[in-house]
Structure 1
Amino acid sequence: MRTTVTGGAGFIGSHLVEYLLRQGDEVVVLDDLSTGRLSNLDAVAGAAGLRFVEGSILDRDTVDSVIAQADRVFHLAAAVGVRLIVDRPLDGLRTNIHGTENVLDACRESGSVLLLASTSEIYGKNTSDALSEESDRILGSPLTARWTYAAAKGIDEAFAHAYWREFGLQVATVRLFNTVGPRQTGRYGMVVPTLVGQALRGEPLTVFGDGLQTRCFSYVEDVVPAMVAIAEEPAAYGQAFNLGGAREISIVELAERVIEVLGSDSPVTLVPYEQAYAAGYEDMRRRVPDNRRARELVGFEPATPLDDIIVRVAAGLSATDPHARDGQAVARR
C-alpha cells in the first residue's frame, strides 16, 4: 500500500507513520516543519519504506507530487493549538482551508482514498452529553480569533463531504477529541504536556479560568489504529466519526491527578483567561464525545487509562527535557 501522510512529522502524524510502516506500507510524509519536528520520526529514520518531503500543503505542485501515486492519503497537516490559532489566525485560515482544498483536488485527480483529520473544536460551545456527529455546532463571533480554527475545520469537512457527493471521492472524516501522548508539546497550548512538564520541573501547574471546564482525553495509540480502520472501511466514506476518551475530567482535577501520579510537590495555580490570552478569548465548558458510530463500525474503544497516559507523556518529556527533575516521571502505585 502506498500511503501519503500530510503533517506526518507532527505528534499524531508521526505515530501514524510508525503504525503504517509496521503494516508494510510505503509511506511518503509531507510536512513543512512549522509545528512538526524531524525528531518525531527518529524511531523510523532510515526505514526502507519511508520518504520525507519538506513542503507546505499550500504549494499545489508539491501536494500533487506526493499524492499522484498514493493509494490513500491521511491529511493531518493543519495549523493547530490554541496559542497559534489565537496569535496567528490568518495563517491558520489559509493553511486549514486552502491547504485542504489542495489535498482534496489532488486526491480527486489521483483517485486516492482520503482520511481527513478534523477536530472536536467544530462543536464549539455545545455542552451536550454526549456529542454525536450530528450535534449542532455553537460557535462564537467570527470576529473572535478563538473561533477561526473551528470555522475553518468545519469548512474542511463541508468541502470533503461535497467532494464525496459531487465527485465520488472516497473520503471519511475523523473528529479527534484531545488526543494526547508522547511527542506532544505544550508549546501551542496543549494542556496535558503543559501540566506534566510543569510537574516534572517542579513549577506551579497553571490552570486557566476556574479549572472546572471538562474534557475527555484519548491516547494516541488507541486513536491511530481506529483512524486506519476507518480509512479502510468503504462504509465510512461520506461520514464523520468521533474519536475521543471515555472519562470526563475537569482541568483542575487533571492537574491534581498529574501531581499525584508523578509524585510532584508542585502547587496548582489558577490563571485568569485575560492574563493567559488576548482579550476576547472564549473557552468551552464541556466537551464529551459519543463514540458509538466508530465503535459500531470499527470497534473503537479508548482503552488506555488517564494515569497511564500521564506516565507515558512524562516519560517522553523526561527523555527530551534536560530540565525535568530526576525521578518525577515514576508514578505512585
Structure 2
Amino acid sequence: MRYLVTGGAGFIGSHLCERLLDDGHEVLALDDLSTGRFSNVAPLEGRPGFELRVASVTDPGVVERCVLECSAVFHLASAVGVRLVVDEPVKTIETIVNGTDTILRCCARYRRPMLLTSTSEVYGKSDRIPFREDDDVVLGPTTTRRWAYAGAKMLDEFLALAHWHEARLPVVVARLFNTVGPRQTGRYGMVVPRFVRQGMAGEPITVYGDGTQTRCFAHVLDVVDALVRLIHHPGARGEVFNVGNGEEVSIMQLAERVRALTGGRSDIRTIPYDEAYTSGFEDMVRRVPCLDKIRRLIGYEPTRGLGRILSDVLAEGEGASAG
C-alpha cells in the first residue's frame, strides 16, 4: 500500500514512516518542517517508495493531491509540546483544528481510511485513575492557555467520529500518552530529552513544579506498532484507544534516574510552574492510561519500559556528542 503520513518528518512520524517502509509499503510524508526536522527522514530519502513533500497540512490543494495518491492516512501533524501551546496559542489551535478538518474532508471525498493521533491531554484534570476512553474529561477555564491544546484535540476527535457516524468513514482515534525515544527534541518542553541533555552536559536538571506529578512513558516503537495494527482493524473503526505504557513514575524519580545514568554530576532543581511557563499554569497530577481496550482488540502490550527508553535516548545523545 501507499500511505500518507502527515507530520512525517516529526519524531513519531519519522519512526512510523520507517516502520511502514520496513513492512514493504510506500510512504508519502507531508510536513511543513515547523516542528519536524529533515534530519529525521534524511536516512529514508534514498529508500525506494519514500517521498517527502514540504507543505502545510492546512493547504487544501496540497492535501487533496496527497490523499488522492494514497490508500490510507496516518494524521500526526499537529502543534506539539506544552511550551508551544503556552507561547503560541493561536498557531496551536489553527494548526490542529484546520489541519484535521482539511484531512478529514479529503478522506471523506475519496473514502480513505484515517487514523488520528490524539493525546492524553484531553482527560484534563480528571482524578479518576487510570484514564479510560469513555471517562468524562475535566478541563480548566478557557482563560488558561494551557488547555487550548486539549480543547483543540477534543474537537479533532469529535470531528473524526462525526465523519464515522454520518458517513461511516473508517476512522480510528489513538490517544497517545507521553511517547518518548530517539529523535525527540526537548525544544518544546519534552521532559525526557531535556533531562538527558542537561545530565549529559553536567547542567542542573530542572524539574517543573515540585516533581511529585507522575507520568507513564511509552517507547515510540511500541506506539508505532500499535498505530500500524489499529488503522485497518475492523473493530477499531469509530473508536478511541489509549496507546501508552502503564509504568508510572514521578518526575522527580525520573530526574534522579537520569542523573544517575549520566554520571551523577548534575544537581536537581525545582522551578515553579509560573516561572517555567506562565502565571496560573495548571498541570495534571497523574496521567496513567488504562490499556484494557486496546489489549482486548489487538493484544497490545508495551515491551520496552522506562529503562530501555532512557538507554536509547542516552545512546543517541552520546552518538551525537561523539559525532
TM-score of the superposed pair, with normalisation by structure 2: 0.98
Q: Tell me how far 1:90 sits from its aligned partner.
A: 0.3
- Correspondence 1:173-212 to 2 at 5 A: 173-212=173-212
Report the identity percentage: 49
- Correspondence 1:305-324 to 2 at 5 A: 305-321=305-321
**Residue 103 of structure 2 corresponds to residue 103 of structure 1:** yes
CA offset digits 1:282-312 (Å, max 9, x no partner): 1111100001111111111111121111110
CA offset digits 1:45-74 (Å, max 9, x no partner): 211100110000111101101111211100
CA contact (8 A) 1:200 1:264 kept: no
- Correspondence 1:12-27 to 2 at 5 A: 12-27=12-27
Q: Tell me how far 1:143 sits from its aligned partner.
A: 1.6
2: distance between equivalents of 1:36 and 1:317? 18
User: Residue 146 of structure 1 aligns to which amino acid in structure 2?
Assistant: R
Q: Tell me how far 1:321 sits from its aligned partner.
A: 4.9
TM-score of the superposed pair, with normalisation by structure 1: 0.95
CA contact (8 A) 1:160 1:171 kept: yes
Aligned partner of 2:35 in structure 1 is: 35
CA contact (8 A) 1:213 1:251 kept: yes
User: Residue 137 of structure 2 aligns to which amino acid in structure 1?
Assistant: R
User: Residue 4 of structure 2 aligns to which amino acid in structure 1?
Assistant: T
User: Residue 99 of structure 1 aligns to which amino acid in structure 2?
Assistant: G
| SS of residue paired to 2:4 | strand
2: distance between equivalents of 1:18 and 1:264? 35
1: distance between equivalents of 2:261 and 2:294? 30
Q: Tell me how far 1:211 sits from its aligned partner.
A: 0.4
| SS of residue paired to 2:30 | strand
> Gapped runs of 5+ residues in structure 2?
none
CA offset digits 1:80-118 (Å, max 9, x no partner): 100001000000100100110000001111111100000
- Correspondence 1:1-333 to 2 at 5 A: 1-321=1-321
2: distance between equivalents of 1:105 and 1:251? 40
| SS of residue paired to 1:308 | helix
1: distance between equivalents of 2:92 and 2:131? 25
Q: Tell me how far 1:168 sits from its aligned partner.
A: 1.2
1: distance between equivalents of 2:265 and 2:84? 30
Q: Which moved more, 1:231-240 or 1:313-322?
A: 313-322
2: distance between equivalents of 1:94 and 1:311? 36
Q: Tell me how far 1:242 sits from its aligned partner.
A: 0.2
CA offset digits 1:109-147 (Å, max 9, x no partner): 111110000000000111222111011110001121100
User: Residue 282 of structure 1 aligns to which amino acid in structure 2?
Assistant: E
User: Residue 41 of structure 1 aligns to which amino acid in structure 2?
Assistant: V
CA contact (8 A) 1:128 1:288 kept: no
CA contact (8 A) 2:45 2:51 kept: no
CA offset digits 1:154-174 (Å, max 9, x no partner): 000000000000011100010
CA offset digits 1:3-22 (Å, max 9, x no partner): 00000000000000000001
| SS of residue paired to 2:207 | strand
1: distance between equivalents of 2:261 and 2:319? 18
1: distance between equivalents of 2:137 and 2:130? 13
> Gapped runs of 5+ residues in structure 1?
325-333
Q: Tell me how far 1:314 sits from its aligned partner.
A: 1.2
CA offset digits 1:164-201 (Å, max 9, x no partner): 00011100010000000000000000000000110011
User: Residue 67 of structure 1 aligns to which amino acid in structure 2?
Assistant: V
CA contact (8 A) 2:215 2:251 kept: yes
2: distance between equivalents of 1:129 and 1:140? 18
Residues 321 and 280 of structure 1, relative CA distance in 2, 3 Å threshold: farther
CA contact (8 A) 1:21 1:27 kept: yes
| SS of residue paired to 1:63 | helix
User: Residue 131 of structure 2 aligns to which amino acid in structure 1?
Assistant: L
Residue-pair matches, total? 323
2: distance between equivalents of 1:127 and 1:82? 20
CA contact (8 A) 1:205 1:268 kept: yes
In the TM superposition, structure 1's runs of 4+ consecutive aligned residues that sit over 4 Å from their partners are none
2: distance between equivalents of 1:305 and 1:118? 22
CA contact (8 A) 1:262 1:311 kept: no
2: distance between equivalents of 1:165 and 1:275? 44
